[in-house]
Every structure is written in structure tokens, then in C-alpha cells.
Structure 1
Amino acid sequence: MTTLWQRARRPAARSDDDWWSVGGNVYYGTGRPVDGKERPLPIDFEAKIQHAYKSNGPIFALMLVRQMLFSEARFQFRQMRNGRPGELFGTSALAPLETPWPGGTTGNLLSRMIQNADLEGNGFVTNYTPGRLKVMRPDWVTIVTGSDEDPNLPSEAIDSHLVGYMYDPPTGGEPWFLLPEEVAHFAPIPDPEFQFRGMSWLTPVIREIVGDTAATRHKLKFFENGATPQVVVSLDPSVTPDKVGKFQALMDSQHRGVDTAYKTLYLGGGADVTVVGKDLHQLDFKATQGAGETRLAAAAGVPSVIVGFSEGLAGSSLNAGNYASSRRRLADGTMRPLWREAAGSLAQIIDVPANADLWYDDRDIAFLREDQRDAAEIQGLQSRTIRQLVDAGYEPETVVAAVQAEDYSLLKHSGLYSVQLQKPGSGQGGTAPTTDPEEGA
């Protein structure tokens, strides 16, 4: 451990190869495992914040939908019987999740976790301070791996394993080294280039983000330059360059920009105007940008109709059945796997009771009320199944356990098969009394 700690160094400063810019559009790079340390490039996290989350409307909207729904869940412990889940219950051990820091809530904790996971692919939470949780900025965290036999082996070695986490804020002080049991690592999408790190869902659609941003800039420039098509103004060859410059300045001052759009254009003798560009309608701008938004929504796992993108609000998408399907796709295909991963990671820093695991409680989430109705219908079917099995002579306790666990091997029969389930000769099947009425008088 000492050797690995001595070898853990502050992440190297970024180089010009970490990112590149084309036409004002920023692209991002990714880090690589080096000397048993898996770390991101600092510029990657900051670039996604500045050029995606804080500058791109569709990305902000998608992340906001994921964050708002993800933060609605609560945590409970779930009993486990023979590998099958049972009922939910709570203890005082859940207190750090319910109040992770002074004034903090479970929703605040989950919001930070999903925000970091969306931007960097990783959310790190530590219980370094007893009774209090700390969300660590992901680009300041380095994952340290090593080998029991040779600490110099790279992270790709066959016997390499997780040694710990190095938290190194750029304050100039010594970094903190945290053991695996002190850190909850939330990484819902594994990065194929790293053994332990996660990957942001923004990474595969970076060029889509750049394209959407460029389209928005194109639209803005269209309005800034007069909300009119591009034109070419030609003048008589006899006009001197000095007069051409004065004419250009005069025309720009009177006809360039939104405030001067649609004014009548007056030209002097010898001047001719030719339209060479197209307006936004001719460019089919809505369809062009709408298709990119749909691709972003697909990567985020959020149906377009839920987030309110234009393509999701067209045609039959808003029909009750289609919207319900989209809602269920978001809940079952995106949110529940995320909640499951969050519970599994946070269980690392919580005292989980024996024969139980940490689980999410989604019973109070308004977005899932349709699921509650479906659950009620399922319970109705289960209750009828329980009644039939009890009537067939199975012991009631084993019937309930078997139906809840979906394991009919738990059933135990009472040995009674009659309708009334009474033993023969018990005296309750209509048999005449043997006592003389006069004796009882």
C-alpha cells in the first residue's frame, strides 16, 4: 500500500492533444490508464460543463429530466430470503443517506450523483467524516489499482485489483487516499477503455452536441444579420473602391441586424442585388435540428415526448397509449437501473443489516403512479391465487411466501382435501351429537 501511495501523483497538466477546436466548436479527449491509475482529463469534465450542460438547451433539458426523476427515490433496506427479495424496512443506519450533510436531503445527494455521472460517467461519495457524506468532484478523483505480487503491474494485469481512490483537489495540499470501503462509486455505464471507471452518455454524441450548437449559432446569425437571406450587391465598374466602402457601411448601418430587418432597400444607380442564400424555412431548419435532438434523447435514455422535443410532440406521439409507453420506457429502461446501481454503490459506505440489502423505494414517486395501478392489478391476481391455493389445502403461511417469492417449491400441503378442510370424524361435518339431551337438562 505504501508503494502505491508513494507512486500516486497529482494528475498531469493537460496538453494540446487533450482537446481540439474546429471552427469554434470544441471536441473532447479521454484519459488512459497510466501506471495503475485510472483518471479522466480535467479539461474533459470542464468542457462538458461549459460547452454542453451550461450552453446547450437540449442537453440541459435531458439532464434535468433525469435528475428530477432520479432524485425522487428514497432508500430502504430489503430483506433477502433464500436469495429472493422480501419486504422493505428502515433502521437508523439509513440516517447518512437521509441527511448526508447539514441541511442536505436524499434528493440533494442523488441529484449530485446523477449530475456527475452524466457529465463524467462517475459519481464518487465518501463517508470519510463519520456520520456525514461528501460528494467528490469526479475529475479530482484517481482510481488506484495494483497487484499483490507486483505493485508496478499496470491496471490491465490479470491479477490487478482496486486498491483505493486518490482525491486531489487543486489546492496545493497533499491528496487524500481513501480505501474502497470508504467510497461509493456510482458508474452506471462502464467505460470499455478502463477497468473500473464509468463513461458519460454524452461521450458518444459529442459531435451531435457540436452540431446542435452550430445550428443554434446559425439561427442566431440569421437574425443578427437582418433575418433576411444572404445577398450579393454588385456595383458599376466605374464606382471607385472608396465609394464602394462608403456604400457598404451605409447599407450595413441601415439594414443589418434584427432592429432594421424588413426595411425597404433603396439602391443608387448601377447597384444590383442578387439573393444567394436560403431562409430558415427553405433550409428545413426545424427538421434538421429536431433530428439531432432525437439522437441526443436516445443516448440519454429519455423519450423525446417526455422531454418535450419537437419530434416527440408530432403525430401520434402524444396519444395516451404512446405517451404511457414512453413513460414506462423511461421508468423501467432508464431510471430503475440507475436507482439499482446507486443503491448498490451506496451500500459500500452504509451499515447494511444481515440478510438484507440496500434498495430504492419508489412508492411515493408521482411519475410512477401508473405503475402503482398495475401493481394493484397484480396484487389482485396474487390474492386470487392465494385463495385458490388455500382452498386446495396448502398451509396459508407457505402460500403467501410462495406467491411473494414466485417459488412454488415453498408450498406445504396440510393433507386436507375436502371443501371444508376438516379432518374426518372431527364432529364438525354435520354429525349428530352423541350426548343425551336429557343429561344436559
Structure 2
Amino acid sequence: MKRSSMNTARRMMLFALLTLSLHAQQIAGTWQGTLDLGQQKLRIVLQIDKAADSTLKGTVYSIDQGPDPAAVTTLSFANPTLKFVVDSLHASYEGTMSADGKTITGTVTQGAPKPLVFERATQETAWKIDPSPHTVQMISVDKDVKLEVLDWGGTGRPLVLLTGLGNNAHVFDKFAPKLAATYHVYGITRRGFGVSSKPEAITANYTATRLGDDVLAVIEALHINKPIVAGHSIAGEELSYIGSQHPDKVAGLIYLDAGYPYAMYDQVNGDFLIDAIDLRRQLNQILDMNPDADRKKALDGVIADLKFVEKGAIVQRQRMEDLPPPQWSRQPPPPVGTAIMLGQQRFTTINAPALAIFATPKDLGQLLKDNPKARAALQAANNHDTEQQATAFERQVPAAHVVRIPNASHYVFVSNEADVLREMNAFIAMLPAAN
């Protein structure tokens, strides 16, 4: 009886190990799917490997944002359910594998949950992780800080591309080769992202001045003579820092849906976040009881900031009636993103030739499709804010060429590539040759 029980236990153990190994073999391999974020669609590649002890390990690539891998923190597969977490991306996934083992249907959670269906990749269907023709080098810009710099080649005027928040220079892998036919094209991955160095996520390490100086350090290190610098989204603050403080270093600046308050502070209407940041700074000077502080100047600053902060707070509160809470209210944003947002500065004009492209009215893609009222409110708010910023740019930088592209996404160089190329080429053609 005892021997029979022991044999049964051994058989059960062997069966469990065999089942675990079989499950691992079923799920191991390369999976790929497209994540629809509304304004942007990202191709995601998931590679699952089986270790010698039959445990599973995973790696995730967002190949439209770059070839850099993100390690899966935890991964489990209990047929047919796959679960994994990627701590570095603040993301998790849960899905169900089909009976034929060819698809996994599930949901990725990174803020708001989004559907994501993976298909098993074959040698013929597998997406290339990094198909773009470029070289890569690491450039030192500060003590213990190196930035990834891509070079797509080309023999024309130098053109440097800067990314939006959360992206690395590989976001231009499809766009840059189109430019390299006419210009010598470079791309910079901002500190804190991709394979670039990641200093501590405090505001002092990520102010607009610090990030702008990083760009200038790359330009100097590569001996680039007066390039055109084009930036997407938050890169507008780096453009405006250079254009206001070091206009002699560049031939021109191109804002790719990047002319928002972090790049051009609206002196007529103000900006809630920038004014609130400055109000806190002024209040801290008063509350610190620093005898060296100019209290009169600080109080004047508080009075000036309060006017715009109150106005902005009223607008924000009114919009909350029709709009759902922002994603960060459900899940805190990455610390580096917070440091960059809190490091914004007031730029009220620029002193270099500039092209500012605005996507307006903006294509919201799939955002809030299931909530027509909220979607309409978001569209109206977007249209109002973008037009207000475009008008501020025209008013405060009268020499700038401001272009509005209707029904484009925030990733305007993706959604409206031909329009953006046309406007960039026309602008650059008018710039005087570098000395």
C-alpha cells in the first residue's frame, strides 16, 4: 500500500512537471500585437523563453518607440491564462491563449486598460526589432551622463531631432530616413529615457535649461555647425531654451506640435501649471524666512501668479464636470516625467528663425470613443487650447511661421508625414547658409 502510494505520488509529480514543461513550450516563442493608444498605434513584441528549469522569462519591445528591451518582472502561464508585469513601464498584462495556440487575447494596464491581442510570430511574419539604417553612439554631456545619439547619415545641412516625453530617438526610425535624403540627420535620446543615462529623478536634473544644455553639448561634441533643430511635444522647451538663450548656435527651430506652454508661455492668458509652479516658488521664498530674500519682489510675484492660477483653476474645475480624471490620478506618472513637467520655465519669445506646426483640430483617434459626451468635451478643450497657443506663438514671435494641420494627431510627423516634410523643406530652404 505504501509502495503504491509512493508510485502514485511519483507519477503525479512527473505528470505535473511534464504539464509545466508542456505549458512552457506552448507559450514560449515570439508574440506580437498592436496597441491602439488613440493618437498613436504601437507595435509590441513579447519574447518568452523557457529556462532549463522550465520557468519562463520574458522581454518586451515597443518597436515603434525604439529597439531597447524592457525586462518582464514577473510572468506566469496557467493554460490558457498568461499574466506578466513590467515594472519599468508601470504596465501589466493578462490574456487568454486560443485553443490553437496562435493568439492571446487580453488587456494591458498602464493607466487606463487597453485591449491588446498578440499573435504568434513566425520566421516569415516576425517584425524586425530595429530595421532603421542608423549608427549609434553615446555622447557625454555632463558628469556621469551620456546620451544615445543616432545618426541616419545624409550629406545635406545638419538636422537634429528631439523626442517627446517618454520616447527615445528611435521614435523617428521611419521618419528620419525620409529626411536623410536631403539633410544629415541626427536624433538624441533625452536623459532619463532609453539607453541614455538616468540621473536621479529630481527637478534640478531635468529642468528645461539642463535639458537644453544637453542638446547643445551633443552639438558641440559632434562638431555640428549651426544645425536646424526639430523637436516633438515636450522638446519644445529645449527648442525655446536654445532659441532664447543661444540662438547663435542654430540655424533654425522646428516645433512639431511642440509649441505649447512649456515652449511658449502665453503672456495674455498664462498657464495653470507653470504659474502654479512659480507661485509655489514665490511662496517658499516668503515662508522660508530667508533674510536675503527680496520679500517685496516675492510678494509681487505671488500677486501676479495668483491672477493666472485662479483663472486656470476655474477652467480646470469646469472641465472636470465633463471629462474623466486624468490617467495620472489613477496611477502616478513615472518620476522622470514628473521631474520634467515640474522643471518647466517661462519662455516668452525666441530669437531664432522658427517653424511651429500645430495639429488642430486634433485627431483624438480612439480616445473616449465609448463616451461621446466626454469625447466632445475633450475635443472642444483641445481645439480651444491649441488655437490659443498658436495665436500666442504668432503674437509673441511675429517672425515665426505658424502652420495649422487639421485632423492630425499629436504625433503629427506620423499621421501627416507628407505635410510635415513639405513644411520642413520649405522652411529650411529659406534659411541662410551657415557660416
What's the TM-score, normalizing by structure 1?
0.22
Instruction: Name whichever structure is richer in helix by fraction.
Output: 1
Larger radius of gyration: 1
